[in-house]
Amino acid sequence: MKNKLMIFAFIAALLVSFSVYAAEMKKSGFISDYSGMKPGPEGGADWVYIKEGVNFAHYKKVMVDQVTFFLRDDAKYKGVNPDDIKELTDAFNNAVRENIGKYYPLVDQPGPDVIRIRIAITDLVPNNPGISAVTTVMPIGLGLSMLKKAVTGKHTGVGETSMEMEILDSLTNERVAAAIDQYSGGKLSGMKKWGSAEEAFKFWTERLRKRLDEYHGKEKGGE
């Protein structure tokens, strides 16, 4: 009887922990359908969806939509400098070319062997120009961090940002995969300076390329 009670208690604890974790999924509205998302594997994206039976090896080329940015809902300052958005967009495009385009042809037209990728960077917090002389869009927490560094020479800590990605068949626009991921200092130790967003782009595009490599039976970046 005691063993049964212990087993029931263990199962209940698992259910509670799972429900708490599942409740933490953030939805910006970028992904067309959040149903079917499940907690991702250790070391992978936080939440994932993969269509059953899809053959990713069928796709040889990649079409990437222009990246979309979402401000964090509770950001106190909502102003965004267009130059900052352009800078972040350019950084994202550079990461795509460097980490995906070198290994898979990047195209701008749908095709039978073309996979379409939509990506949004969410939870961005604009830095208030009234607080700091430097205005930029950064992952949450970095504005305060850089402000303190200017005064004390030390960072308050590392920031965090989130990503939502949807992968579609380019001809039918049928969703074949989706992912939601959030990064903080524990996952991305390089987020200590203004280039932190670029580091996040590099991390995510490298991870995507590695997944494509796995589907195509490649190793070490398409070799």
Mean pLDDT over all residues of the chain?
71
Residue whose token pair is 């005064």 = 151
- pTM score: 0.68
In a domain, 141, yes or no: yes
In a domain, 80, yes or no: yes
Tell whether the torsion through CA atoms of 163, 19, 188 and 214 is positive or negative: negative
In a domain, 139, yes or no: yes
Asked if the model's pLDDT at residue 16 lies above 70, the reply is: no
Would you place residue 125 in the very low, low, confident or very high pLDDT band (cuts 50, 70, 90)? low
The per-residue pLDDT for range 40-64, each reduced to its tens digit, is 887 778 899 999 998 888 899 999 9
In a domain, 135, yes or no: yes
Nearest-angstrom CA–CA distance, 170 and 113: 8
Domain around 100: 37-215
In a domain, 100, yes or no: yes
In a domain, 13, yes or no: no
Asked if the model's pLDDT at residue 113 lies above 80, the reply is: yes
More confident residue, 152 or 77: 77
Question: For the domain that residue 178 is a member of, what is the CATH number?
Answer: 3.40.50
Asked if the model's pLDDT at residue 10 lies above 80, the reply is: no
Cα 162 to Cα 37, 125, 219, distances in angstroms: 16, 11, 27
In a domain, 24, yes or no: no
Nearest-angstrom CA–CA distance, 8 and 10: 5
